[in-house]
Amino acid sequence: MGNGSSIDTSRAVHLDINGKIEKIIFSRHSSSRDIHELICQAAAVNKYSTITLKDVDGAHVTASPSMPINTPSTPYTVVVKNPSSRNGQLNVKDESEVFQNVLSQVAEQFNRAFKVEEMKSDITTRLSSLERRLEICGDEGLKVVEIEKCKRDISDIKDQIWNAQKKFIDFNRMSSLSDESKISLKRDVPAYPKYTLSQETVEYLKQPTFDIWHWEPNEMLSLLEHMYHELDLVTEFNINPITLKRWLLCVQENYRNNPFHNFRHCFCVTQMMYGMIHLCKLWEKVSREDLGILLTAAVCHDLDHPGYNNTYQINARTELAIRYNDISPLENHHCAVAFQILSNPECNIFFNVDKDTFKRIRSGMTMLILATDMARHAEIMENFKEKLNTNFDYQNKEHLDTLKMVLIKCCDISNEVRPMEVSEPWVDCLLEEYFNQSDREKMEGLPVAPFMDRDKVTKPTAQIGFIKFVLIPMFETVGKLFQQIEDTMVEQLRSALRRYEEMKSENEKQQKKG
């Protein structure tokens, strides 16, 4: 087994700050907030400033531990928007914006330190300050309509604090949002801009080679929206376009900021499903309703993932494990949150379908999301192989259901199907999440899986067995139905396997020299 020291734990990117090239170095285990503050420090601006990064082509880049590295000749341009001020003091609107930034920062710190009381005290103090500022502005003759707006802003902040506080407490108990909690939209619609997609992007979006790293969250929302329109699902389910926007926003709000299981992973899996639909021309084999179930299950498949897997949930006896009797606790929770969102008429994209259709949609989505539990991998694959050996029948519901389960499984773990520059950062993200879990398990005296232990696993050892014994056999099996998959995806997996085997060999040589 390799040694964990072979993993480089630091990264460096180059920034163009007002024409001056600066270099920042950060750990792969840094949070996005850590990197944001580091960039603010390099730019000599307030840490509450809004920071935007753009690459040499003008594309937005997410400031995260997994952002692509660059060179001094291809720096990321830093665009800074400072909180505005008047006479050195923030006005009420600015204070509100700063307060929400502070709330976000406190949330991340809390997730690491679990200091609920300190957070509550700090938030209460800052809210009191904001309310005093409102009184001062009123004394200074601020217009009544502006005062009322400020009061509404404060009321909204209090609601956000309450919602955030509930989620913090749940996280501390390793329990996510309860099934009974009302999941409501936090932003108005439309809250993200409408992007005009070039024909090149429209075609590129259908490819398994699509690079998912160069898209901002709002752009990902627009791309997901495009998928529903392009596949004619908006017509099929008579979806109100504004409801589609609300639903996508609410889904995004209910993905946590984990290193791996986050909204970008949701987009990645959904884009691969969209790509496989087009690659295999699935509309010739299955109904438009089934296409909608496949795509929507992909969007919802990891909703509110806490960043700790089922093994942890069961061993730690968390509320989720208790609630679902140790049976796929996370996948059951993802389903529950998905239909919690759809229970809100404002976010229910299936509001206009009849009861029988919705019953089929609910049954189909539940089946697919539960199929993403890797504990069921062998069972599902054996079932699928059995169907293939008895002459696969697209008119047979049992055959078709098994195919759909295998398709979402393929999409869920499809990163290595993508080009190396797209797939490899995902390995870093996954290892970061694994290491977070194993560190916690060690601290709590729980069993630690070797493939999650930072002292035992390396990048190549993490991937070689998974590609060889899980990915290649699964995609080869699906390739028996769709030759296109054998020609494109399986070959890319074999190439990835060779690359990691070479990496392992090189690591072993370096260790012998050392």
Task: With cut-offs at 50, 70 and 90, classify the pLDDT of residue 135.
Answer: low
- Please state, in angstroms and rounded to a whole number, the distance separating the CA atoms of residues 414 and 274: 13
Question: pLDDT digit string (tens) for 336-366?
Answer: 999 999 999 999 999 999 999 999 999 999 9
- Which amino acid makes up residue 114? F
172 or 32: whose pLDDT is higher?
32
- Please state, in angstroms and rounded to a whole number, the distance separating the CA atoms of residues 442 and 327: 24
DSSP letter (8 states) at residue 86? B
Question: pLDDT digit string (tens) for 418-428?
Answer: 999 999 999 99
Tell the burial category of 164 from Cβ atoms under 10 Å away from its Cβ (0-12, 13-18, 19+). middle
Mean pLDDT of 469-493: 96
Whether the CB-CB separation of 189 and 246 falls below 8 Å is answered with: yes
Q: What SS3 state is found at 353?
A: coil
Question: pLDDT digit string (tens) for 159-184?
Answer: 555 455 444 333 333 344 443 444 65
- Close Cβ partners of 15 (under 8 Å, ≥ 6 residues apart): 21, 22, 23, 24, 39, 42, 43, 53, 75, 76, 77, 78
**How many other C-beta atoms can be found within 10 angstroms of the C-beta atom of residue 136?**
11
Q: What is the pTM of this model?
A: 0.68
Task: With cut-offs at 50, 70 and 90, classify the pLDDT of residue 495.
Answer: very high
- Please state, in angstroms and rounded to a whole number, the distance separating the CA atoms of residues 81 and 48: 9
The three-point CA angle 460-466-470 to 5° equals: 160
Q: Which residues are catalytic?
A: 261
How is 277-306 classified by DSSP, letter by letter?
HHHTTGGGTS-HHHHHHHHHHHHHTTTT--
Question: pLDDT digit string (tens) for 374-396?
Answer: 999 999 999 999 999 999 999 99
- Please state, in angstroms and rounded to a whole number, the distance separating the CA atoms of residues 410 and 156: 41
Nearest Cα residue to 181 out of 331, 303, 298? 303
Nearest Cα residue to 42 out of 62, 68, 16? 16
Radius of gyration of the chain (CA): 24
- Please state, in angstroms and rounded to a whole number, the distance separating the CA atoms of residues 367 and 269: 17
Give the pLDDT score at 371: 98
Question: pLDDT digit string (tens) for 224-272?
Answer: 999 999 999 999 999 999 999 999 999 999 999 999 999 999 999 999 9
Whether the CB-CB separation of 252 and 217 falls below 8 Å is answered with: yes
The three-point CA angle 301-307-311 to 5° equals: 90
Give the pLDDT score at 64: 78
145 or 221: whose pLDDT is higher?
221
Give the pLDDT score at 47: 73
| Least confident span in 89-103, 197-211, 400-414 | 89-103
Task: With cut-offs at 50, 70 and 90, classify the pLDDT of residue 153.
Answer: low
Q: Are strands 76-81 and 10-17 parallel, antiparallel or unpaired?
A: parallel
Question: pLDDT digit string (tens) for 415-457?
Answer: 999 999 999 999 999 999 999 999 999 999 999 999 999 999 9
Question: pLDDT digit string (tens) for 259-317?
Answer: 999 999 999 999 999 999 999 999 999 999 999 999 999 999 999 999 999 999 999 99
- Close Cβ partners of 439 (under 8 Å, ≥ 6 residues apart): 454
- Determine which helix (DSSP H) or strand (DSSP E) holds 164, and give its type and residue range: helix 144-172
Task: With cut-offs at 50, 70 and 90, classify the pLDDT of residue 158.
Answer: low
Distance of CA 114 to the CA centre of its chain: 22
Give the pLDDT score at 251: 97
- The interaxial angle of helices 288-300 and 241-253, nearest 10 deg, is 30
